[in-house]
Each structure stands twice: as C-alpha cells, then as structure tokens.
Structure 1
Amino acid sequence: MSRRRALGAGLGAVGAVGAAAAALAGCSADSGPVWRLRLATGPEGGPYNAFGQALAQAVAASGHRLEIVPVSTAASVNNLRKLADGSVELALAMADVAEDAVLGREPFSRPAAVTALARVYVNYTHLLAPAAGPVRSTTDLAGRPVAAGAAGSGVQVVAARVLRAAGLSGGPAPADERQLGLAASVQALREGTVDALFWSGGVPTPALSGLAGELPLRFVPLDGYVGALRERHGPVYTAVTLPAGVYGLTEPVGTIGVGNYLLARDDVPAGALRALLQVVFDRWRDLLRGVTAGARLEPRFAISTGKVPLHPGAAAYYRSVYG
C-alpha cells in the first residue's frame, strides 16, 4: 500500500481525534489547553540538540498554546527508550534505529509504541582519519582504535553495522571500537588515541569543519557497503555523497545516508501534533539552518517513514493541508 493510500485509510480511523486536532488548530493564543511536550534530542552541541532548541523557540513564537521542552540525551537509541517508557512525548532518532524499535529488534527487547510525525532530514555517515595516518580504507581499521559513537547513539548502531559488513566486528583482528560522543571523538583523533572516527550527521557538521581546519583529513568512502546494509536491514540506508568543497574535500566521497525522524508516542493528542507540524513546515528553513546545509523539508519527503507508522494526528495534518 502506498503511503498516500495509507494516509487515507488512517484518516478513516481518526474520528474524534481528528476533531480534537481541528479544534486545537483553531485555538487563539489566549484560549484552549496548553500542551507541554518533552522532546528527547541529543548531546549538547550536537545537531539533534540544535534542532530541538530551534524548534522550542519556533513553537514559543508561533502563538500556539504549545510548549516544547528539549531534553539532552545520548541520542537515537536512548531517545527511543525514553519515548517507550513515557519519560518524553517526542523524540528525534535515526530511521534505522526507529524501525528497530517499532519491530522489537536488537537493541530493543520488544516493539515500542512509536509513531512518526515527519522525516526531517538525512544524516551522512562520516568515516574520517588523519590524511597522514594509517587508515586509507575501511579494512585498515583491523586491530586499530576507532571512535564509534557514544553508547545509546544512532552513530554506534550504523558504525557497528558497517564494521560487521566489512568483516571487522569479529575474527582475528576486529576494529577496536571506542564508545565516544562527537566532542570526545574529535579530541581523541586530534590527540592520536584513535586512528579514525565515525559520525552520522548533517553536512557540514561544525565540529568536523573545525577539525578539518586544524589538520588534513581523509574521508573514507563507505558507499560500497550500502547494498549489504540494505539486504540485511532494509531500505533505510541509501547511497549519498559528501560534496566537493565541504571539509576541504577536492572531490566527492560516496557514503551512506540515513533519514532522521521526528517521532511521538502514539498516545500524544492529535491536536497538539497538528499544531507542532504547522510550526515545523512554516519554519523548516530556520530549523535546519544549523543542522545541515541545502536541505529542504517537503511533504512527499516527510511522509516517507518506512515501517514506522504515521501518528493519526500527522496523517490528518498532511491530508488537511496537502490533500
């Protein structure tokens, strides 16, 4: 079934939820309920945290009786666990981890009641090393220390899957995976305590641009692993390109793209989410400016959330606005 047909089917089940959404969408700034929604983002200084802070500010300025409270976390895996246990109502997460949560696949012990509001932008998987160092390809990571994302992050998930596809997660000389967040990864690479680092984020990522200004870097191609990842984990992985010019690159570098979803618990009122999505689509340029360059947020892109179902309130929003 196409996502457009699914939207239509979902609307048939909205009923009173859709009516409540319409009622909230019509509220003035001084009437109606105030919805306070906690949003699990990521570590301070990271792109999820930047997006969450920008969204909170945009919502506060919108006139909707809605408050977004960003919550700093380790990112995707941690966010989905918080969403499942009810300690937050909203979360940002990478598409691969979100599908794992919905399907109850490792690292989740059972399916989570998670729904999507929008696919907001694409993460680019970075594998970088000092240009003068020993790492020129993924296979050179055998037996070497590599910063592979903080515990509970989506970076850790995609890094582990790339290393598995490259045959470096077992055997006689596996990569020495170090659980480090972005700031700690950059510092470790600068100091030489790791030989390479993985990162998944927008382009350019400011911390990596800063590092590229300090020392020459090599960005290792990863697009050769897209087929293996798609075969094992599904179409959440795509081939994308780090463009020439970014990070001082003189030519493009193929790598792995993964979508980022704005998610909600399935019991969040539809009206609050319709108001939130109105802000997201009104202010998407501001929301993405500090996260990734050149991205656009369009409905046909936003509703492509794979096996993560749209929340009824999101389905109602897209149908009411875009048909």
Structure 2
Amino acid sequence: MRCFWVEKSESGEVSASLTEQPTSILDAAETTSPRIRVQVEYSSLNYKDALAATGNPGIVRNFPHIPGIDAVGRVMQSEDDSFQPGDAVIVTGNQLGVTHFGGWAEQIDVPSSWAVPLPDSLTPVQAMALGTAGFTAAQCVAALIDHGVAPESGRVVVTGATGGVASLAISLLVKLGYTVTAVTGKQSEHANLKQRGVDTVLSRNEFVDESRRPLLSAAYAGAVDSVGGKLLETLLRSTSYRGCIAACGLTGGNELHTTVFPFLLRGITLCGIDSAMCPMPERKKIWQRLAGEWKLDDLDSLTQIYPMDQLASLVETILAGKMVGRAVVQI
C-alpha cells in the first residue's frame, strides 16, 4: 500500500517520504477490540498531522509512523457485525495518526469503536473538509450554546480566523445567526472574511492587550480560541458576564498568564475542547448535526483537494502558518 512514511535514524534524524509498504504492517496494531480494515479514499491536513510528519516528540513516540488523524473510506473487512464490507465510514481522533498508523495511507486497520457511519447527506470529500477541524469547531459552538451564549447575547470572537478549525467555526456561527469578530494575522484575508459574513475583522496586534489590567471592557459574549497564549489572555479579560470561551488550540503558545478575576467577578467559563477522545455518543451527535441542521453551505468553497504527492510541501505550508481553509488529501 502507498503511504506517507516517517522514519527516524539511529542518529535521531527524521525523514519522511511517500513509499510502498506491505499491508502486513497494519496487523501489528495492538487492540483487544473488534477491528475493521478500511480502504481510505480521502484524508485531510491538520496542524497536528504536520507535527507528526516532522517527528514532533509531543505527537509521535514510536517510529516508523504514518500521520493522518482523519480518514474516510469503505470497510474491507470487519470483526464487528455493526459494520459490513462496503460500508462508508469516518474515522477521526482517538489515536489515529498519533500512536496508531493514520489516514495518510491507502488502508487503515482500527478498532471498530473509532468509526462513525458516513451520513448519507455528506460526501467523502465533505466529511474530510470537516474532519477533526470541523468536529472540533462544532464542539466549540455546542459549548457556547450549552453555556447560554446565544446570538442575541452579543459578539463572539474567533481567533486564528483563517485556520481550519476557526474557518469552520466562523461558518457555523454565521449560519446560526451570531455576530462574529474575527482575529487574524493575515492582512490579506480581511476582505475574504468579511465576504463570508464576519462583522468585524481585527489584526492580532489590534486585539492583544499588553497591559497588566486584570479586567478589560466586557466586549464579547463568547469566543472560539484556536490560538492560546496572549490572545487567550486578552479574551479572558474582555469576555462579558457569564460568557464562555471554547479553547481548542495553542499555535500562539501553551502558557497562560491570568488572574482569577474573570472567573470570580464575571463568572465566565473557560471550556476546554478535546476532540481526540470525545465519547462516542457525543461524537455521533456532533456528526449528525454537521450532516443535518448545521450542514455548511460554503464548505466546498473552503476546501482544496490535493494529491498525496503534495503532502511534503503542504506540511511546510501549514507549519509556516500560510494555510488557508481546509486541505483534503486524495488517497
């Protein structure tokens, strides 16, 4: 099978290339659960995949490795009566592409408990245009709703606005009637964001407050933060009473310097979003929403399809912060 193979030499040098590997490598997966073998049709590119492709030790602990935290395809073999050969399935999160060989390969072998039937209203390309990014974005929006942040509550901020998760979060929020403020470091994307229904676009420098004031003016009812660092610190100090921030990323840093005042005086919620280990009942519910009442009208316009041959250059692009929208990889 053809796959994106990441290796580490005895000297510690990491290398990656498209190569042919025997499908027998998939049989080494250790699991006591019933397994399914899937013929992968499409995967996607996420920041986490790019880290895995470069051997980042925070993501990859064992070599050789195949990245790809998302996959969609058809069941080839199944040890679980819930799935039959020919069934179309989505596999995202869990340990796919992390400790388990991932979707940047023509076949995957995974526990059947990781798979969700592909909804009839989604094509395989649309499923991967969503992927972990769309799933995460939907979890963020659901968190805001669950904590009482409604369209009439006030403005909602989305940081890192041109990234995969943020782009899809913006589409969901606009579809649901929210007034969105987008924060981005890409000046060239301001007009595009406005065309997509964003009310206000701010540059990163405009938004970040470098002062040490424990609280700022309460300007936002909620936020979807895919950046972390100073952006999240500013969000915490400028969120309104009983507001909610859904935090799902750390491209701006993994440290957080704050005080308890936003929590004690304004009663805000900082809601962490974990997509990898999301319980299956909630996972199915989110996918049903994305295929139903939350199905995005502009999903195709946010998506570019690339062949596997371009994976190496795509990894460089996303690590350089130059990726816009969603990259779907045709396997």
TM-score by length of 2: 0.31
Greater fraction of residues in helix = 1
Greater fraction of residues in strand = 2
Higher relative contact order (CA 8 A, sep 6+): 1
TM-score by length of 1: 0.31
